[in-house]
Amino acid sequence: MQIAILLFDRLTALDAVGPYEVLSRLPGADTRFVAVEPGPKQTDNGVLALVADHATADVPSPDVLVVPGGTTGVEVSMNDDRTLDWLRAAHETSTWTTSVCTGSLILGAAGILKGLKATTHWAAMERLRQFGAEPTSERVVRQGKVITAAGVSSGIDMALTLAAEIAGPDIAQAIQLGIEYDPQPPFDSGSPQKAKPEIVDALRALVGRRSR
């Protein structure tokens, strides 16, 4: 089972590494980090690079496709024909096509979300409409073989859901135990419905500035 995780400059590291840490533990997983041009890809803040060992051109038909999000990196990918052409072709033969955070905007730009319910980072939710998708405020949204996940850390939940679909609940639970995913955040502030309104407003303003 070939799993391709797309990398590009200015991605959000946890969007990619969360699903990777789960899916690469599936029995028989052949996990490949791919990029249009292989090599080190800087994260959104420029302090870390993740290395893509494979060119997208060399991984044309993965079984599982994972598209992470990011800030400016997403805007570039949404307008990059080589990225979008690869995604469209890979999606034709994939068993699962997935995204984390604003990675769904890249799927959208490739035309993959037309007519589907989908999610993304809460602050980018309305942008899904321009691709004909129906914004859906759930952590993991499945529509046939397309699974989109909410912001950044939600990729872990998405990948565990997918692991259960692929290999059954016992394997998924073993992976959850292996990465000791027994979350105990010290605050209950992880969604705009739960966080203090002034924190939501401040962050929405900040995200708006960054993506413009």
Active site residues: 101
Nearest Cα to 105, choosing from 86, 79, 85?
79
Shortest spacing between CB 197 and a copy of itself, in angstroms: 11
Q: Quote the crossing angle between the two packed helices 154-167 and 169-178, to the nearest 10°.
A: 140
Shortest spacing between CB 69 and a copy of itself, in angstroms: 11
81 makes contact with a copy of itself (CB under 8 A): no
202 makes contact with a copy of itself (CB under 8 A): yes
Helices (H), 38-168: 72-78, 81-93, 103-109, 154-167
102 makes contact with a copy of itself (CB under 8 A): no
76 makes contact with a copy of itself (CB under 8 A): no
Q: Which of 20, 86, 96, 131 binds a copy of itself (CB under 8 A)?
A: 20
In degrees and rounded to multiples of 5, residue 63 shows phi and psi of -75, -40
Q: Say whether 49 sits in a helix, a strand or coil.
A: strand
Options 75-83, 84-92, 125-133, 188-196: segment touching a copy of itself (CB under 8 A): 188-196
